[in-house]
């Protein structure tokens, strides 16, 4: 009996040892979060408090960052992903994109995330003509709080394969897509990231293809469909322009030459339709979507915090001063949608409204 | 007498105790080995099924290759380097990617062909994309688009065709199917890519998600840095209808995704192999052994982006050609071969 117990105990110990070795090797795994587990906490207190209210997108939902706290707008993702919020001046509302599988629409929402109304209808009901669907992205409001600028894949000719964005404008109070402002280069992807400036011109990213490479140039569009003023060279490959509130500086993202897999955050002066020599604020990064603080005191942008990816919010104080601060990582453990530029309203707090 | 028997029993008892201790130790070692084997079982299965395939070099023809005479080819073959570069020496890998979804029913072409030269000592990498429409003599006979080599003779025919036409030696190949790429990217937590431009396509094949492999779906990959899961990355590298450069644009994007995967290789170790093997099972094959693949991980992770050179064979290296009523690309061997041999030793 005693011998049998000893044998059972030994066998159990051996099994435990085998299991231990198995788990020891497993513990040596690098535990990269798999794609199904990368969406992590969404409501946190950031490391530093920024003025005003920032609207940001993560995992198909939109968040408000105000007074040092994130608030989840809890938008329904049943029919798509919410992205690219844009605050509406002179109001508490935002415009945002709801992206479905084959099309995207613009919506007007209040600050609590309730849909006020859908602004576009880009879905095509005929399943066999999928190309009749449309995309709308990058909404930006004009200072009047009524004019809306955005990228739209019109005009589109079903007899060709060309699908390119052009910049369009419309109004919240009337029809949305009433004026085509830019003519895009065909088969390049087109014109994106339009931002209205105080002068009435639009600054945007214009894509082109030359010498076998696709590149972006920062462009200014005055009158609709007129020839744009190109501000950067193909070699600079700069896009995502963000004009400062006074319109005298432009922050932009330029792609480095290293296998097209790194970017630079640059700032340059903008005077009389010409950019000055750019100053590189961050080099060799995955920086994207710069946005100036409403008072021009600095700018935020997205960048990855480490090799695992996950885009976090970063802040540079005095981005155009003689001595800009070192980049400060504002958030941790988040995973912002880097193709959704933040929108920064000067309003510091938003009154809570009944949903 | 009793004392004598006791003194005889003592060494026997000692021997049996030693034997028992030995058996117990063997039992622990065995259980440890079982623990290790159980952990690496997916990798072992993959090693048997998907790795260690041999390249059938008999598929190399005696016919004249694209840019050389038969006698020159034969002479070159006689002085050819060993089949596989010794460890630590620079080596060449042919990376093959196929649309192996339902609509192809086993007749698989290689939509993506990338030659990669890796120097483990200097940590330098060169990637040269071979256009799939390149009209070349195939190692299996006749001329066709280079993507058909795989259809006629699998990876061995692709390797032999590239070796003969480009006058280079290929040490290894690695083939991956659509789902293999998607699962690999998802397994490493997605990749971060700087999308070169808005990648728009209204006629992207909806062959992995829907019931009808001939259906289309719309794609819009927005430009700039972003995180992509496996399916998004596949759309990025596979879409071509909305790009002025067509296949050349997506060749560039394919190289980009490889570089993004390289960044994730920094985070991987030998203990991650079973998960990766499970993710890519049945959608991956290579002639490399699992230990050779494992030895590549530290090399991949230590390569700096500035040490990666990318080559695309656009105009003037290739020009449009219509042959047998199909669009193809005419290679300009007078330009392609000198360029290729700058990075890949000529044989």
CB–CB of B119/B128 below 8 Å? no
Q: Residue A141 pLDDT more than 60? A: yes
Q: Is A69 on the interface with B (CB under 8 A)?
A: no
pLDDT value for B63 = 47
Q: Answer whether residue B325 is part of any domain.
A: yes
Q: What is the mean pLDDT of chain B?
A: 84
Q: Above pLDDT 70, what percent of chain A?
A: 92
Q: Is A135 on the interface with B (CB under 8 A)?
A: yes
Q: Answer whether residue B231 is part of any domain.
A: yes
Rounded to a whole number of angstroms, the distance from the CA of B194 to the nearest CA of chain A is 6
Window 39-58 of B, Cβ < 8 Å to A: 39-40
- Which alpha helices (H) appear in chain A, and where do they start and end? 2-27
The answer to whether the Cβ–Cβ distance between B312 and A212 falls below 8 Å is: yes
Give me the total of CB pairs closer than 8 Å, taking one residue from chain A and one from chain B.
223
pLDDT value for B208 = 78
pLDDT value for A21 = 84
Full-model pTM: 0.85
Nearest to B223 among A209, A216, A309 (CB): A216
Give residue for tokens 């946190």.
A44
CB–CB of A189/A164 below 8 Å? yes
Rounded to a whole number of angstroms, the distance from the CA of B340 to the nearest CA of chain A is 18
Nearest to A33 among B31, B189, B270 (CB): B189
Q: Answer whether residue A143 is part of any domain.
A: yes
pLDDT value for A31 = 65
Question: CA A255, CA A239: separation in Å to the nearest integer?
Answer: 9
Q: Above pLDDT 90, what percent of chain B?
A: 41
Q: Is A214 on the interface with B (CB under 8 A)?
A: yes
Instruction: Say which range, A247-261, A302-316, B156-170, has the weakest mean pLDDT.
Output: A247-261
pLDDT value for A188 = 95
- pLDDT bracket for residue A43 (50, 70, 90): low
Q: For residue A40, what is the DSSP state?
A: -
Window 235-264 of B, Cβ < 8 Å to A: 241-245, 248-249, 252, 255-256, 259-260, 263-264
Q: Is B202 on the interface with A (CB under 8 A)?
A: yes
- pLDDT bracket for residue B290 (50, 70, 90): confident
pLDDT value for B233 = 95
Q: Residue B305 pLDDT more than 80? A: no
- pLDDT bracket for residue A354 (50, 70, 90): very low
Question: Into how many domains does chain B fold?
Answer: 1
Question: CA A315, CA A313: separation in Å to the nearest integer?
Answer: 7
- Could you list the beta-strand ranges (E) of chain B: 91-98, 112-119, 124-130, 135-137, 143-145, 172-177, 191-195, 199-205, 216-221, 224-228, 284-286, 308-312, 318-323, 326-331
What's the CATH code of the domain at A127?
Answer: 2.120.10.30
Nearest to A35 among B186, B220, B225 (CB): B186
Nearest to A188 among B197, B217, B312 (CB): B197
Q: Above pLDDT 90, what percent of chain A?
A: 64
Mutation pick from A163, A252, A311, A337 vs chain B, by most beta carbons of B within 10 Å, is A163
Q: Is A55 on the interface with B (CB under 8 A)?
A: no
Is the ipTM above a cut-off of 0.85?
A: yes
- Which alpha helices (H) appear in B79-192, and where do they start and end? 148-166, 178-187
Window 27-46 of A, Cβ < 8 Å to B: 28-30, 32-38
CB–CB of B296/B180 below 8 Å? no
pLDDT, tens digit, for every residue of A270-290? 999 999 999 999 999 999 999
Window 294-313 of A, Cβ < 8 Å to B: 302, 304, 307-311
pLDDT value for A229 = 97
CB–CB of B178/B103 below 8 Å? no
Nearest to B224 among A20, A26, A339 (CB): A339
Q: Answer whether residue A142 is part of any domain.
A: yes
- pLDDT bracket for residue B82 (50, 70, 90): low
Q: Is B286 on the interface with A (CB under 8 A)?
A: no
pLDDT, tens digit, for every residue of B127-171? 999 999 999 999 999 999 999 999 999 999 999 999 999 999 999
Question: CA A29, CA A326: separation in Å to the nearest integer?
Answer: 34
Mutation pick from B131, B241, B242 vs chain A, by most beta carbons of A within 10 Å, is B242
Q: What is the residue-wise DSSP string for A65-128?
A: EETTEEEE-----TT-EEEEEEE-TTSS-EEEEEE-SS-EEEEEE-TTS-EEEE------S-TT
Report chain B residues whose CB lies below 8 A from the CB of A35: 185-187, 189-190, 229-230
Of A32, A95, A184, A93, whose CA–CA distance to B223 is shortest? A184
Residues near A108 by Cβ (< 8 Å), separated by ≥ 6? A88, A93, A94, A95, A115, A116, A117, A118, A119, A172
* DSSP-based three-state secondary structure for B257: helix
Q: Answer whether residue B61 is part of any domain.
A: yes
* DSSP-based three-state secondary structure for A294: coil
The answer to whether the Cβ–Cβ distance between A17 and B35 falls below 8 Å is: yes
Instruction: Say which range, A1-10, A91-100, B96-105, B317-326, has the weakest mean pLDDT.
Output: B96-105
Q: Is B72 on the interface with A (CB under 8 A)?
A: no
CB–CB of A50/A67 below 8 Å? no
Give residue for tokens 């490391």.
A47
- CA-derived radius of gyration, chain B: 25
CA distances from A61 to A43, A46, A140, B17 (A): 12, 18, 18, 68
Q: Residue A252 pLDDT more than 90? A: yes
Question: CA A236, CA A254: separation in Å to the nearest integer?
Answer: 6
Nearest to A286 among B24, B187, B194 (CB): B194
Window 162-191 of B, Cβ < 8 Å to A: 185-191
* DSSP-based three-state secondary structure for A27: helix
Q: Answer whether residue A4 is part of any domain.
A: no
Q: Answer whether residue B7 is part of any domain.
A: no
Q: Residue B9 pLDDT more than 70? A: no
What's the CATH code of the domain at B294?
Answer: 3.40.630.190
pLDDT, tens digit, for every residue of B24-64? 888 888 888 888 888 777 777 766 666 767 777 666 654 44
Report chain A residues whose CB lies below 8 A from the CB of B189: 32-35, 37-38, 308-309
The answer to whether the Cβ–Cβ distance between A239 and B185 falls below 8 Å is: no
Report chain B residues whose CB lies below 8 A from the CB of A217: none
Nearest to B229 among A35, A133, A307 (CB): A35
Q: Residue A160 pLDDT more than 80? A: no
The answer to whether the Cβ–Cβ distance between A214 and B197 falls below 8 Å is: yes
Q: For residue B66, what is the DSSP state?
A: T
pLDDT value for A268 = 97
Of A189, A187, A225, whose CA–CA distance to A206 is shortest? A189
Q: Answer whether residue A26 is part of any domain.
A: no
pLDDT, tens digit, for every residue of A323-344? 899 999 999 888 899 999 999 9
What residue numbers bound the domain in which B203 lies? 50-343
pLDDT, tens digit, for every residue of A219-232? 999 999 999 999 99
Window 226-265 of A, Cβ < 8 Å to B: 239-240, 253, 255, 258-263
Pairs from A33-38 (Cβ < 8 Å, separation ≥ 24): A33/A308, A33/B189, A34/B186, A34/B187, A34/B188, A34/B189, A35/B185, A35/B186, A35/B187, A35/B189, A35/B190, A35/B229, A35/B230, A36/B186, A37/B189, A38/A309, A38/A310, A38/A335, A38/B189, A38/B190, A38/B227
Question: Into how many domains does chain A fold?
Answer: 1
Q: Residue B5 pLDDT more than 70? A: no
What residue numbers bound the domain in which A135 lies? 37-345
Q: Answer whether residue A299 is part of any domain.
A: yes
Specify the higher pLDDT residue, A218 or B213. Answer: A218
- pLDDT bracket for residue A355 (50, 70, 90): very low
Mutation pick from A214, A288, A337 vs chain B, by most beta carbons of B within 10 Å, is A214
pLDDT, tens digit, for every residue of B238-261? 998 888 888 888 888 999 999 898
- pLDDT bracket for residue B73 (50, 70, 90): very low
- pLDDT bracket for residue A176 (50, 70, 90): confident
CB–CB of A113/A98 below 8 Å? no
Structure tokens at B291: 């230990």
Q: Is A289 on the interface with B (CB under 8 A)?
A: yes
């Amino acid at each position: 009996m005693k011998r049998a117990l000893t044998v059972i105990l030994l066998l159990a110990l051996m099994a435990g040892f085998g299991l231990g070795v198995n788990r020891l090797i497993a513990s040596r795994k690098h535990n990269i979060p798999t794609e199904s587990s990368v969406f992590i906490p969404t409501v946190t207190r950031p490391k530093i408090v920024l003025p005003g209210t920032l609207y940001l997108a993560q995992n198909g939902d939109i968040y408000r960052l105000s007074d040092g706290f994130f608030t989840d707008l809890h938008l329904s993702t049943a029919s798509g992903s919410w992205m690219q919020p844009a605050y509406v001046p002179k109001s508490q509302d935002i415009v945002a994109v709801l992206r479905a599988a084959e099309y995207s629409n613009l919506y007007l929402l209040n600050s609590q995330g309730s849909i006020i109304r859908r602004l576009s209808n880009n879905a095509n009901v005929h399943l066999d003509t999928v190309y009749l669907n449309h995309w709308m992205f990058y909404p930006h409001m004009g200072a009047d709080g009524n004019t809306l600028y955005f990228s739209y894949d019109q005009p589109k000719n079903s007899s060709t394969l060309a699908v390119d964005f052009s910049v369009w404008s419309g109004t919240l109070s009337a029809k949305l897509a009433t004026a085509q402002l830019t003519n895009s280069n065909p088969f390049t992807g087109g014109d994106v990231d339009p931002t209205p400036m105080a002068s009435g011109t639009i600054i945007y990213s214009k894509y082109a293809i030359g010498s076998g490479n696709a590149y972006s140039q920062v462009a200014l569009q005055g009158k609709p469909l007129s020839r744009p003023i190109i501000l950067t060279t193909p070699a600079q490959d700069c896009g995502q322009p963000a004009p400062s509130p006074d319109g005298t500086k432009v922050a932009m993202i330029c792609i480095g030459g290293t296998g097209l897999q790194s970017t630079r955050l640059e700032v340059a002066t903008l005077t009389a339709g010409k950019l000055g020599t750019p100053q590189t604020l961050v080099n060799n990064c995955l920086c994207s979507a710069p946005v100036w603080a409403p008072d021009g005191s600095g700018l935020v942008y997205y960048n990855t915090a480490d090799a695992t990816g996950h885009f976090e919010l970063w802040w540079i104080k005095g981005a155009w001063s003689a001595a800009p601060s070192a980049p400060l990582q504002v958030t941790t453990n988040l995973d912002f949608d880097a193709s959704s530029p933040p929108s920064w309203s000067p309003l510091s707090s938003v009154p809570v409204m009944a949903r | 007498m009793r004392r004598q028997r006791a003194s005889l029993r003592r060494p026997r008892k000692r021997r049996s105790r030693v034997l028992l201790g030995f058996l117990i130790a063997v039992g622990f070692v065995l259980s440890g080995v079982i623990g290790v084997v159980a952990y690496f079982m997916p990798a072992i299965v993959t090693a048997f099924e998907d790795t260690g395939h041999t390249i059938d070099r008999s598929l190399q023809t005696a016919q004249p290759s694209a840019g050389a005479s038969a006698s020159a080819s034969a002479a070159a073959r006689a002085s050819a380097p060993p089949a596989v570069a010794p460890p630590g020496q620079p080596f060449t890998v042919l990376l093959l990617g196929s649309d192996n979804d339902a609509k192809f029913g086993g007749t698989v072409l290689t939509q993506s062909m990338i030659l990669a030269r890796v120097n483990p000592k200097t940590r330098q990498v060169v990637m040269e994309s071979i256009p799939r429409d390149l009209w070349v003599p195939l190692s299996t006979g006749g001329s066709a688009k280079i993507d058909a080599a795989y259809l006629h003779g699998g990876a061995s025919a692709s390797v032999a065709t590239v070796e003969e036409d480009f006058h280079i030696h290929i040490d290894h190949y690695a083939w991956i199917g659509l789902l293999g790429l998607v699962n690999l990217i998802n397994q490493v937590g997605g990749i971060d890519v700087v999308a070169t431009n808005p990648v728009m396509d209204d006629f992207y094949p909806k062959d992995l998600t829907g019931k009808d492999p001939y259906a289309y779906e719309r794609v819009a990959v927005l430009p700039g840095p972003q995180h992509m899961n496996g399916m998004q990355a596949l759309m990025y590298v596979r879409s071509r209808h909305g790009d002025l450069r067509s296949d050349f644009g997506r060749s560039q994007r394919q190289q980009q995704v490889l570089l993004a995967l390289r960044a994730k290789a920094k985070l991987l170790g030998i203990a991650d192999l079973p998960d990766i093997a499970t993710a890519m099972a049945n959608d991956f094959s290579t002639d490399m052994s699992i230990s050779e693949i494992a030895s590549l991980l530290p090399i991949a992770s230590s390569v700096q982006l500035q040490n990666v050179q990318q080559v695309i064979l656009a105009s003037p290296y290739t020009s449009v050609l219509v042959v047998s009523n199909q669009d193809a690309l005419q290679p300009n061997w007078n330009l392609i071969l000198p360029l290729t041999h700058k990075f890949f030793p000529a044989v």
